[in-house]
Amino acid sequence: GDETVVIGTRQRGAPLDLMVAEAMILANSTWGQWMAQLGVPGIYRSQASLAPGVKVRMGTKALPHAGIGVPSYAWSTSPLRRYTDLVNQWQIIACAQHGATAALAAPFKPKDAELFSIISGFDAAYSAYNGVQSSMERYWTLRHVQQHSIEELDASLVKEMGAGTWLVRADTLPLMFSVMGANHLPRGARVRVKLSDVDLMALDVRGTVIAQLDAEGQGTGTDEAEQEAEDEDNLPAGPVSIAVDLNDSTPPHAP
């Protein structure tokens, strides 16, 4: 328990990463459109627009994905990691084997109730997994803040929560938290924040804005910050609600 938590910057944008990402987008989009053309149902991800609050949805219809900029997008390239990809690959194999009659031979037929059940079950499991992953990352980040006695952070305003409270994203740590004192500042504005004490039990830390780092009235990164906050795949872990039954009179060692 005495190990030092080290947080580094993950490098993005390397040529190999870009090649892999673009190849996966091409495959998922191409295969998704192919299934749709043959009338074979699949599990698609879609986003109607890039407007704030418009989230990515899962369904059986080949609808556009505005965030990626493709007419349809069906997760298919990671069958060992996601069950939805395995289901889509079963459907794609039927397309390859049967062509125009694939809809009659595919494991899942149009309007198949089992396909909707798979989507519902995957959504629940995927949300639970992301919740655990986010909470774990938040715990170790807060441990890092404690160990290094970090009292102030630079952050960007992401979303107004009401009652004078804003959600902010730290510039140098994978951490989102609420702050007070950001009245009349625009989304995306960069601020200096003084942190409160860290609560590892509740995974909580709060802050107070002590300075604005941007020129007056100028925000930076508004669209990117807001889009990340609204995407359900990137919802930040927040404080944990702890329920204690004060009326529980059961002895601690009772069977």
What are the tens digits of pLDDT across the range 75-125? 999 999 999 999 999 999 999 999 999 999 999 999 899 999 999 999 999
Tell me what the pLDDT averaged over the chain comes to. 85
In this prediction, residue 231 has a pLDDT band, given cuts at 50, 70 and 90, of very low
- The structure tokens listed for 148 are 């290094």
Residue range 20-38: mean pLDDT, rounded: 96
Residue 41 confidence (pLDDT) above 70: yes
**pTM for this prediction:** 0.69
In contact, 195 and 153? CB cutoff 8 Å:
yes
- The structure tokens listed for 68 are 């990626």
Q: Where are the domains of the chain?
A: 15-111, 151-234
12 class by beta-carbon count within 10 Å (0-12 exposed, 13-18 middle, 19+ buried): exposed
Which has the higher per-residue pLDDT, 235 or 100? 100
Residue 225 confidence (pLDDT) above 50: no
Closest CA to 174 of 141, 217, 211, 146: 141
Cα end-to-end distance, the chain, whole Å? 31
Buried b (16+ CB within 10 A) or exposed e, 48-61: eeeeeeeebbbebe
pLDDT tens track for 125-171:
989 999 999 999 999 999 999 999 999 999 999 988 888 899 999 99
In this prediction, residue 229 has a pLDDT band, given cuts at 50, 70 and 90, of very low
CATH of domain 151-234: 2.40.50.140
169 class by beta-carbon count within 10 Å (0-12 exposed, 13-18 middle, 19+ buried): buried
- Asked which of 62-66, 91-95, 172-176, 221-225 is least confident by mean pLDDT, the reply is 221-225
The C-alpha angle 81, 174, 200, rounded to 5 degrees, equals 100
Closest CA to 36 of 27, 44, 46, 45: 44
**Residue type at position 219:** G
* Helices and strands in the chain, H and E counts: 5, 7
Closest CA to 84 of 64, 102, 108, 65: 108
